[in-house]
């Protein structure tokens, strides 16, 4: 493995993510002094629902774009896009029915926006996988920066006419719209080729384990990340959701984007290594060192500077955000490391393992929610129990992936086995 190239590619995506986050962080003091906590609460419910459905709207055939042979990448992307379109229509109809019941922002316009958001998120995942397949990291970086810029500017402008959750929602939609436009431009530059229903059927049959196992797995993974918004709305109301949502924007979202960058490069390098050597321990170990070091630094900085930073940065009325940041720090640090290597089972086609892991994470979230509902736990107690329980389980899963890779997927052990077999022959 060329470590210099690996670090350069991760660094390119990291730099793009850092620029996008600098744009976001520059906007937060303005957003905090315009929109209130209730607006952020309802906005967070809309976005959370879209982000739970969006990544799986393409049937996880974005993974197939990466895993399939190079000659089949065109058909895999087209199939993923068709699936996203169908899921987006169902999502829009579902939102129209359930939004009024949950108290979320409703109406036909926002139902359409929800469906389009699901489609654009799905295309963003599959199109990004196509760019990564071609190692077009620069184009991917441009898309990341564009999304950050085109989310923030509309949100600030829409406050002048829609000073509530609707302005924030429209800004979110414009961000993913322009992100998808940049990705689509990159895909066209690389060449899309032709597809056929015969090829789509062949891909669907050959890689059926991804929709069968990874769709529910991804749903459970995203559910465990965003379910707190829905649970908090039910337990405490939109105000508390708003505090949690702003803490998420300050800490969890930047960490998730950075983890996604590390995960994308890791999956590409691990899959390449596995195809050529039968192992992927070296890229896994390298990713663990980088992710672990970053997680420790972010965790320590959160504990030391959260109260001071929030008071200066957002203003005294957002003080509860600092408490939320400190409470969820253990969960977010452990999740950060887990996400960067969670694609390891997919390299070897063990999608069932990842499904079981995400099911356990979802069960922990549901159990703590049920306990809070039954015992009437206060806001901070509920978050503390959820954070510590999830952190412990993430650490156990990281250990399981690491031990499995060390025992069974070390490149040197596979090379030695091959040489031994050749000698016996």
**46 vs 235: CA distance, rounded Å:** 17
Which of 179, 207, 235 corresponds to the end of one domain? Answer: 207
Residue 49 reports pLDDT greater than 80: yes
Tell me, yes or no, whether 271 and 137 share the same domain.
no
- Taking residues 126-143, report their average pLDDT: 89
The number of distinct structural domains making up the chain is: 2
DSSP state of 211: I
Same domain, 99 and 237: no
Each residue's pLDDT tens digit, 353-397? 878 888 999 999 999 999 999 999 999 999 999 999 999 999 999
Distance, CA of 146 to chain centre: 17
In a domain, 23, yes or no: no
- Same domain assignment for residues 251 and 387: yes
Nearest to 217 by CA among 80, 121, 361: 361
Question: How far, in Å, CA of 55 to CA of 260, rounded?
Answer: 12
pLDDT attached to residue 421 = 41
Residue 29 forms part of a structural domain: no
Answer yes or no: do 134 and 240 share one domain. no
Residues 6+ apart with CB under 8 A from 129: 62, 63, 65, 66, 77, 264
268 shares its domain with 405: yes
Burial class (CB in 10 A: 0-12, 13-18, 19+), 97: exposed
Query: In the predicted model, is pLDDT for residue 423 greater than 60?
Result: no
Instruction: Point out the domain boundary residue: 140, 172, 207.
Output: 207
Decide if 111 is inside a domain: yes
pLDDT (tens digit per residue) in 312-361: 999 888 999 999 999 999 999 999 999 999 889 888 877 678 788 889 99
Q: Of 177, 207, 237, which residue sits at a domain end?
A: 207
Cα separation of 351 and 43, whole Å?
A: 33
Tell whether 245 and 334 lie within a shared domain: yes
Give the whole-angstrom CA distance, residue 282 versus residue 318: 44
Instruction: Let me know whether 263 and 232 are in one domain.
Output: yes
Given a cut of 90, whether residue 47 has pLDDT beyond it is yes
Which one is predicted more confidently, 118 or 219? Answer: 118
Helices in 54-164 by DSSP H: which ranges? Answer: 61-67, 73-102, 108-133, 137-158
Q: Give residue-wise pLDDT tens across range 4-25.
A: 776 677 778 778 888 988 898 8
45 and 190 belong to one structural domain: yes
Same domain, 70 and 164: yes
Question: Which position has the higher pLDDT, 138 or 200?
Answer: 138
| Residue 226: domain span | 208-412
The pLDDT, as a whole number, for residue 1 is: 57
Query: Do 139 and 217 belong together in one domain?
Result: no
Mean pLDDT calculated for residue range 178-184: 96
């Amino acid at each position: 493995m060329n470590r210099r190239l690996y670090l350069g590619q991760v660094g390119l995506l990291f730099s793009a993510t850092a620029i996008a986050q600098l744009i976001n962080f520059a906007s937060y003091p303005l957003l905090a002094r315009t929109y209130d906590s209730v607006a952020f609460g309802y906005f967070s419910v809309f976005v959370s629902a879209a982000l739970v459905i969006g990544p799986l709207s393409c049937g996880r055939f974005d993974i197939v774009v990466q895993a399939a042979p190079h000659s089949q990448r065109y058909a895999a992307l087209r199939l993923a896009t068709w699936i996203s379109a169908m899921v987006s229509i169902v999502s829009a109809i579902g939102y129209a029915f359930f939004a009024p019941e949950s108290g979320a922002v409703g109406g036909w316009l926002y139902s359409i926006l929800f469906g389009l958001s699901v489609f654009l998120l799905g295309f963003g995942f599959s199109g990004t996988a196509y760019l990564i397949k071609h190692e077009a990291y620069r184009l991917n970086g441009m898309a990341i920066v564009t999304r950050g810029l085109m989310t923030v500017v509309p949100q600030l402008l829409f406050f002048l006419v829609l000073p509530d959750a609707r302005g924030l929602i429209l800004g979110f939609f414009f961000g993913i719209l322009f992100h998808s436009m940049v990705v689509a431009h990159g895909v066209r530059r690389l060449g899309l080729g032709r597809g056929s229903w015969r090829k789509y059927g062949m891909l669907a049959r050959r890689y059926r384990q991804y929709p069968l196992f990874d769709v529910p797995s991804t749903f459970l993974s995203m559910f465990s990340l965003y379910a707190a918004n829905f649970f908090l709305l039910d337990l405490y109301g939109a105000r508390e959701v708003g505090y949690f949502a702003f803490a998420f924007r300050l800490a969890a979202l930047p960490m998730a984007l950075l983890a996604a960058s590390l995960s994308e490069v890791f999956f590409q390098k691990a899959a390449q290594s596995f195809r050529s050597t039968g192992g992927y321990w070296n890229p896994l170990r390298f990713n663990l060192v980088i992710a672990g070091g970053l997680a420790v630094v972010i965790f320590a900085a959160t504990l030391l500077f959260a109260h001071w930073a929030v008071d200066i940065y957002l203003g005294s009325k957002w003080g509860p955000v600092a408490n939320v940041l400190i409470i969820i720090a253990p969960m977010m640090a452990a999740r950060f490391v887990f996400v960067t290597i969670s694609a390891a089972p997919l390299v070897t086609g063990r999608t069932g393992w990842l499904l079981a892991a995400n099911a356990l994470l979802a069960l922990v979230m549901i159990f703590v929610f049920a306990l809070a509902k039954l015992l009437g736990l206060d806001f901070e107690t509920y978050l503390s129990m959820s954070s510590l329980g999830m952190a412990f389980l993430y650490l156990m899963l990281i250990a399981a992936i690491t031990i499995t890779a060390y025992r069974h997927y070390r490149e040197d052990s596979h090379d030695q086995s091959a040489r031994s077999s050749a000698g016996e022959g």
